[in-house]
Amino acid sequence: MSIQHFINSFDEAIADEKLLKVERWMIPNPYFIRGDYTISEAAQVVDQLRVDFMPVVDKMNRPIGVLTTKLLLHHFLINKNMDEKVLNQISEQNFSQVRCDDTLLDIHLLSCEHFLVVDEQDKLIGVLEREDLIKGLSKYVRESIESENNTGILRVILESAYEGIAVVDDQGILLEFNEAYSRFTGIKREDAVGRPVTEVIENTKLHITVKTAIPERGVLQNIQGQSMVVHRIPIWNKDRIVGEIGMLIFEGVTELYHMYERLQKNKIREEIREQPFMVKSQQTVKTTLDQIVGVSESTSNVKRLARKTAKSFAPVLITGESGTGKELYAKSIHNLSSFSSGPFISLNCGAIPEHLFESELFGYEEGAFTGAKKNGKPGKFELAQNGTLFLDEIGEMPLTMQIKLLRVLQEKEVVRIGGVKNYEMNVRIIAATNRNLMEMVEMGEFREDQYFRINVIELPIPPLRKRKEDIPPLISHYVKEVCNKFQTPEKMFTSAAVSAFMNYHWRGNVRELVNTIEKLVTLVDGTVIDTHHLPYNMVKETGHISGVSDELNQKSNLLDKAKSLGNEREKELILTALVQTAGNKSKAADQLGIHRTTLYQKLKKFNIRYTECSPNTTIYIQKCSVRTTFSSYITVNAHSPYWHVICIYTCEDKKRRNQDG
């Protein structure tokens, strides 16, 4: 059943309703660029506004085309001429001009992606995307689609998939919405299914591509403030499209950033080709939340909270154990915020001596103290102007500095040491700690007013042991990264080894996991890493890991038992030889068929002594440890030329004999 079937059944009066007017759904007074802009200027505008397309107008503000990010990417890859005019690149086929009084029913059959709304003088006054059009029409057809849904789409969605997966029918209505997508967006499945996909997923084009039937793989889509890589795959039933699958790739980074990075590297390489020394270029790829590996619900919740936090100007306190990735979250929040154009300055409060802390944070003027630099030195606040200042390990900050920091945060002004000029501060503060600041406040080790000043928004990061679902993807990610780093063939973990990783406590969290992987990749010769390669403390703590490990442990126990029995038997033979040779070690060694030196080593190993004594006395043969109750005694008769063994018995035998008289 098609959307046209429902449209034809509408009463003509509905077409005149204001709800279906283009004016109701268009975006008024849109941003636009002129045709004489260069590609470089247009790309900067598109990047700053974070839009997928930009109307292009002439000098009279009349539409002449649409410039899309797809066209920009194609130009960067093929032409690479940044000074070329936009007019030469735009397409006149991907948009249509419409009027405010047109209805959605009038324009829905037009085969274009963008509708540019013009007035009576043909000047641009608004834009309308097809997803807005579908959203309006969906209000009328939703119930009919739900009641007569005979598309026959197979509802096969793997809830265990790491990727977010959504399925729509041929009208763009959500039929499936898996758990991974739900965690990422924060929208429950039951609240998503049955609604138009445009109401649930930001900037989606599933409702458009399901009409074109053209699959799209690896395209960019902006969701919750960051660019993600998505796949859109149509579903065919015989000879017609009945729906489409949308897949969200979490570890994707924007292709535009990669292109920009390659262009910058090529430019730098050309500039330094003639120079005798090479300088390491600054990394242009920004840290984003999609670079933080994790599929657990807790990680998804933290990422979602971080995205919301980035939109605010309030100070943030990131809490969590050491090694959980607090600085990664801080950089991600910075790059998603309005301060992203400014610098990200980090200061470790636990690594700076107390007497140098003030100068590091606020800077100093020339002559402020002995040894001060000639022209003074800017502090971290000045360096972070219009950006973000990250105060790591803020729980280690001295109390005296907390007072001065509190005043700066309240007054929004900084004064250098030895200076009189006030510097107005426009800096966002993000702090992090692995300590319980509230307990420190109660103990008088941290100021209460400072705590509430920096803890406007708290971002708690759970330890790795409480989000074990993240361990397999972390292993997969860092094994590839470490192998690429050391230029070694890629290695794989057995299921038993992965199980050991998941059962381990990970006191050092992700940092300890990465260090362990780096050690294993470096030291293991083969391409497979199994449980016997793991560090001893990990195997000891996790115990029996899997069926394979249980079998190995059982075999190991049997070997230990056999070895123990062998030691006992060997010890008995040595004692017997010593008794038969009346303590003559040379003869005992000959009788045992070993060298005398070897016998001495055996005696030392089993802690055996043989002491001469008077006739009919008890000789202490074996001296055992404190925890051992066994000792051997031998009674001999020394009247004959050779000692004659009368009996051999243990301490328990002697004790029993003494009790019996």
3-state secondary structure 89-106: CCECCCEEEECCCCEHHH
Name the pairing type of β-strands 53-57 and 528-529.
Answer: unpaired
Q: How many CB atoms neighbour CB 91 within 10 A?
A: 14
Whether the CB-CB separation of 545 and 503 falls below 8 Å is answered with: yes
Name the pairing type of β-strands 53-57 and 33-34.
Answer: parallel
Structure tokens at 293: 């590996």
Q: How many CB atoms neighbour CB 195 within 10 A?
A: 17
Return the pLDDT at 613.
Answer: 43
Paired strand residues for 68: 53
Q: How many CB atoms neighbour CB 403 within 10 A?
A: 12
- Cα distance between residue 66 and residue 85, in whole Å: 13
- Cα distance between residue 462 and residue 280, in whole Å: 35
Whether the CB-CB separation of 441 and 389 falls below 8 Å is answered with: no
State which H helix or E strand residue 648 sits in. strand 644-650
Amino acid at 506: W
Query: What does pLDDT average to in each consecutive run of 10 residues of the chain (661 residues)?
Result: 40 50 83 85 83 85 84 75 75 76 78 85 87 69 44 42 76 85 82 88 84 73 76 74 78 49 58 43 60 86 90 92 93 91 91 84 80 81 92 90 88 85 89 93 91 93 91 88 87 84 91 93 89 86 53 51 68 82 83 81 74 42 36 41 39 47 43
Best CA proximity match to 105, nearest among 150, 137, 65: 137
- Cα distance between residue 622 and residue 631, in whole Å: 6
Instruction: Give one DSSP letter per residue of 526-537, joined into a string.
Output: SSEE-GGGS-HH
DSSP state of 252: -
Taking CA 252 as the corner, what is the angle to CA 246 and CA 258, rounded to the nearest 5 degrees? Answer: 130
CA neighbours closer than 13 Å in the CB half-sphere of residue 357? 20
Phi, psi of 545 (to 5 degrees): -95, -50
3-state secondary structure 115-162: EEEECCCCCEEEEEEHHHHHHHHHHHHHHHHHHCCCCCCCCCCCCCCC
Return the pLDDT at 462.
Answer: 94
State which H helix or E strand residue 449 sits in. helix 448-454
CA neighbours closer than 13 Å in the CB half-sphere of residue 483? 16
Paired strand residues for 126: 28, 117
Dihedral sign, Cα of residue 65, residue 67, residue 68, residue 74: positive
CB contact set of 152 (below 8 Å; sequence gap of 6+): 237, 242
Return the pLDDT at 548.
Answer: 44
Whether the CB-CB separation of 68 and 43 falls below 8 Å is answered with: no
Q: Which domains does the chain have, with CATH numbers?
A: 3-136 (3.10.580.10), 150-255 (3.30.450.20), 289-462 (3.40.50.300), 465-545 (1.10.8.60), 568-660 (1.10.10)
Q: Compute the residue count for the chain.
A: 661
DSSP state of 341: T
Whether the CB-CB separation of 385 and 372 falls below 8 Å is answered with: no
Amino acid at 52: D
CB contact set of 186 (below 8 Å; sequence gap of 6+): 304
Structure tokens at 209: 């591509």
